[in-house]
Amino acid sequence: MEKNKLSEFLIEKGLFITAIFSIIIIFLIISFILIEGIPIFEKYGFFDFLFGMVWSPNNSEYGVFAMIIGSIYVTLLSLLMAVPLSILCAIFMAEVAPNSVRKILKPVIETLAGIPSVVYGFFGLIILVPFLRGQFGGTGFSMFAASLILTVMILPTITTISQDSLRAVPQEYREASFGLGATNWQTIRRVVFPAALPGIITAIILGMGRAIGETLAVIMVAGNVVQIPGSIFEPVRVLTSNIALEMGYATGIHYNALFGTAIVLFLMIMLLLVVANYIKYKYKVDIGGGYL
């Protein structure tokens, strides 16, 4: 008995120390970014940096607003394409497909998540960009190309987690719905999907985080022009690409400006997560109070 208590105590403390260590690492990373990035705000001005339209380090102009808009556009467009496909695929795999089909589809979709981003970017550069150039004109490097690549990259994440959420809905819910005379599709639409909605929203949040944080694949197909695109077929530069492209040779205030870009990116992600989690909480309350 004493040995079991000692083992439980050691495991509990070990897990606690691990959790505290993880939190400390996160705070250290945030502190480092803030220390390196704050000088650009002190010298250039936070709002001038945030809403400036021109990014020209050679002329000491550091404005990231066009890249903020570019990041939002690329992320939202990729989510607009990926979310319906992912949810429909998850519903098919969780509620419709026979086990033999599910056993094939699930590993295939999960494999997509393990492909390196450089491979996606290379595919986009060799296949997608020339196709868009031939069909729509221009250079082919565009917001649309970046969004298509990101759609494929985030689809496995949203699909897998959404499927797990749908499968986690208690079987009693389905049996009660069938007992009331509902069809399989009515049960999915009115019972299973609303019950799994908080988990599906979590999947979308994780997919959004993957999309807004992706760098290499976007660099290869987006065109990397600092501008607010007038259409989805114009080139764009996102915040992550800006940091990756220029960090290798940046010095002085330019170096600080790139860390300032990282701070803006961090604030954007935090804001999006707060909004998404609020929506998740709202739907969770609604489901508990009325859907079921």
Q: Which residue has the higher pLDDT, 253 or 97?
A: 253
Looking up tokens 């439980």 gives 8
- The residue with tokens 């607003």 is 65
Q: Does a structural domain hold residue 200? A: yes
High-pLDDT (> 70) share of the chain, %? 95
Residue 5 lies in a domain: no
In angstroms, the CA 168 to CA 106 distance is 16
Residue numbers of the domain that contains 127: 49-291
**Residue 244 belongs to a domain:** yes
Question: Residue 99 has what pLDDT?
Answer: 84
Residue 179: inside a domain:
yes
Beta-ladder partners of 61:
56
Confidence of residue 107 (pLDDT cuts 50, 70, 90): confident
Q: Mean pLDDT, to the nearest integer, of 70-74?
A: 92
* pLDDT at residue 13 greater than cutoff 90: no
Which of 86-90, 109-113, 177-181 is predicted most confidently?
A: 86-90
Condensed to tens digits (0 to 9), the pLDDT of residues 160-217 reads: 999 989 988 888 888 888 888 888 888 888 889 988 888 888 888 888 888 888 888 8
CATH number of the domain where residue 193 is located: 1.10.3720.10
The answer to whether residue 16 is domain-embedded is no
| Residue 229 domain flag | yes
Q: Could you read off the pLDDT of 205-221 as tens digits, one per residue?
A: 888 888 888 888 899 99
72 within a domain of the structure (yes/no): yes
The answer to whether position 103 is within a domain reads yes
Q: Rg (Cα) of the chain, in Å, rounded?
A: 23
The pair of three-digit structure tokens given for residue 110, joined into one six-digit string: 């999960």
Give the separation between CA 60 and CA 55, rounded to whole angstroms: 8
List the structure tokens of 236: 């764009």
CA 239-242-245 angle, to 5 degrees, is 150
Read off the tokens for 202: 């979590």
Give the whole-angstrom CA distance, residue 207 versus residue 134: 30
pLDDT of 286 > 60? The answer is: no
Give how many domains the chain has, as a whole number. Answer: 1
